[in-house]
Amino acid sequence: MFETSVFLTILIGLFSLINPLGGLPVYISLTQDMTEENKLKTLKKTCTYIILVCVVSYFIGVYLLNFFGITIPALRVAGGLVIFRSGWQLLNVKHKKEISGKIKEESDKKDDISFSPLAMPLLAGPGSMSFLITLYAGRNDDWHKAIWQDVAAIIAIIIVSFSIYFIFKYAPRLMKYAGQAGLTSLSKIMGFLVIGIGVQMIISSVAQVVKNIFLELQQL
């Protein structure tokens, strides 16, 4: 059966990590010289790339890690640190701004900015990718429940991508009504959630490592 709690956890976590509200000012800056037609075309391609990056990260990321000999606990600690840092930057209103200068410089040299730098690294960055890889690695052993988690993850990814499309499409209206202060307040709320996700990933990984060590000592 479809588990609503799992779906909401993935949806809220992924939306907080991608944080389209934090990337909105950068998007407006990068597309200010485009026509409305080109903006929509770029936005559609960006959302499509975000779906592809997230789905590939979710289903294939674990196997890539195994190929390079990276364990899931190591990824959780590394991903947790990256996510914690992103959340901290959100609380201090720095998230997605510290690389905006480099992104602007890169985008000026490219005709198509939908994949890079918009989809990656501005939106679907290391934090969201490690979050999805960790989710897949922690799937339930019961194949029936695992399939429903996969379905929930795909639906959540699609919903987040659609939300990005509508938020960016109506960016001028959002900026007009919410203002910079409103977006900053929302980003701080997102930052708090993101920090929680990062801390939880680190705690879960450390707890698993300690448990494994304890079990190995018992077998001696």
Residue spans per domain, the chain: 4-219
Neighbouring CB atoms inside 10 A of 35's CB total 9
pTM of the model: 0.81
Rg of the chain over CA atoms, in angstroms? 18
Whole-number pLDDT of residue 120: 84
Contacts of 39 (CB under 8 A, 6+ apart): 31
Q: Dump pLDDT digits (tens) for 188-206.
A: 787 888 888 888 888 888 8
Instruction: Please give the Cα distance from 124 to 133 (Å, whole number).
Output: 13
Q: Which two tokens stand for residue 178?
A: 């919410």
Contacts of 98 (CB under 8 A, 6+ apart): 89
Q: Dump pLDDT digits (tens) for 121-164.
A: 788 888 888 889 888 888 877 888 888 889 999 999 999 999 99
Contacts of 72 (CB under 8 A, 6+ apart): 62, 65, 134, 137, 138, 205
| pLDDT at residue 45 is higher than 90 | yes
For all residues of the chain together, what is the average pLDDT? 81
Beta strands in the chain (DSSP E): none
Q: How many helices (H) and strands (E) would you count in the chain? A: 8, 0
Whole-number pLDDT of residue 160: 93
Contacts of 65 (CB under 8 A, 6+ apart): 71, 72, 75, 133
Instruction: Please give the Cα distance from 10 to 8 (Å, whole number).
Output: 5
Whole-number pLDDT of residue 100: 52
23 vs 48, higher pLDDT: 48
